Each structure stands twice: as C-alpha cells, then as structure tokens.
Chain A
Amino acid sequence: KNEVEQSPQNLTAQEGEFITINCSYSVGISALHWLQQHPGGGIVSLFMLSSGKKKHGRLIATINIQEKHSSLHITASHPRDSAVYICAAAYYGGSQGNLIFGKGTKLSVKP
C-alpha cells in the first residue's frame, strides 16, 4: 500500500530556531507536495517537488529520490509559522492529481 509517513508528529520550537520536518514515502512517486494548514483550518499549497530543492522565502523543501525522503525546513522560525505541515505524494499509477497525504506535523513556535 502506498503510504506517506511524517515525523515528528508534534514539534515545539523557540522563535528564531531552524526547523526540519521529515516525510518518507514508498516507491514510484511522480511528485511530492508540501502543504500548510492554518490553525483556522485553511489549507494552502507550499511546494511541489519532483527532484532537488525549492526555496520560497524562509521555507526550503528538498527531496532525495534514492532515499525516498523529503524535508521541509523553516529558517528563522516565527510564531506565525505555527501550523500543521502536511506532505502528500502523487504516486505513479494513481489517477490524475490524486494524492496520498501524511498525517501532518503540528508545529508550534513560541515567542
């Protein structure tokens, strides 16, 4: 069964810390997505990766295809980064656009 595993489940950090959230997946993905779910429930897409690394502001996402692993890094964390971060995999053989989601990592950044 195609699965997506995230770690840690919960993460508490002090403002300014460098944060890493991990995601591992089974074989045969065409893309890996990172999403952010705000405390109010809204979900926004942050990145889609099929190889290498992407950066947007203080957020950096990397993927290692050989190790079947992706990481989301947040530099100089801020309380407004507090949210649930979700990774999702698009598996080959899955129907168009279908994603398998991890359970999410709840991040709390303290001032």
Chain B
Amino acid sequence: NAGVTQTPKFQVLKTGQSMTLQCAQDMNHNSMYWYRQDPGMGLRLIYYSASEGTTDKGEVPNGYNVSRLNKREFSLRLESAAPSQTSVYFCASSGVGEGWETQYFGPGTRLLVL
C-alpha cells in the first residue's frame, strides 16, 4: 500500500516548456486534489476531482489543466510554464482514515521554471 505517489520529485523547466505531473493513489478514494505551496503562503488548491470523470477549478487554476484518467490517477499539466509557476506541488486524495475524513498527501514535486 503505497498511499499517494507523485512523479517526478524534481523538475527544472525553461519558460514556455510543457510538462505533466503524475499522481496516483491506491486507497480507492473518490476525491483527489492538486495544491501548490509557495513560501509564506498556505497550500492553495489548483484543481480537484470529486470522482472519476469530474474535475473542478480551485483557487488558482490559471495556467494548469488536469485529467482524472481513472479512479487512481489524477495528472496536472502545465502547457506553457512560466516562472510564476515555480513552486512545490502536492497531490492529495481524501477518504476516511483514523475515524475522520482525512486528506492523504503525496511527497510533493519541486518545480523550478527558469
């Protein structure tokens, strides 16, 4: 049981390049999320998916697209990377754990856009 996995762990891009961040969970959760974390700011929701086949915008969706490929996988795509997208990206899924609705986080992807 790996929980939530993310690839890659680190990535350096040049402005204008594209890339896809991959996320998978093996806990059979319906809901999955993509967050970004920037210094001095709280985690901010980019997109979420309440169930397979559905996605919705969060607080900061501009410049990103997502795909909920199946129940396990939720990918985040940057079509044309910008320096403002330099951040740490976390994927999460939610389900009942420890007796309450809990979000389980992946290890994060550190992205640097030059």
Chain A residues packing against B (C-beta within 8 Å): 4, 31, 33, 35, 41-45, 47-48, 86, 88, 95-104
A4-B42, A45-B97 are known contacts. Are A99 and B103 too (CB-CB below 8 A)? yes
Chain B residues packing against A (C-beta within 8 Å): 31, 33, 40-45, 48, 50, 56, 58, 88, 90, 92, 94, 97-98, 100-105, 107-108
Least distance between B27 CB and chain A CB atoms (Å): 13
The prevalent SS among residues of B at the interface is strand
The count of A-to-B residue pairs whose CB atoms sit within 8 angstroms is 55
29 contacts between A and B (CB under 8 A): A31-B100, A31-B101, A35-B103, A41-B107, A41-B108, A43-B92, A43-B105, A45-B97, A45-B98, A45-B102, A45-B103, A47-B100, A86-B42, A86-B43, A88-B42, A95-B48, A95-B50, A95-B56, A96-B50, A97-B33, A97-B50, A97-B94, A97-B103, A98-B45, A99-B45, A100-B42, A101-B42, A102-B42, A104-B42
Residue of A nearest to B88 (CB): A41
Extra A-B contacts (17), CB below 8 Å, given A33-B103, A97-B101: A4-B42, A31-B100, A41-B88, A41-B108, A42-B108, A45-B97, A45-B98, A45-B104, A86-B43, A88-B43, A95-B56, A96-B31, A96-B50, A97-B31, A97-B94, A99-B45, A103-B40
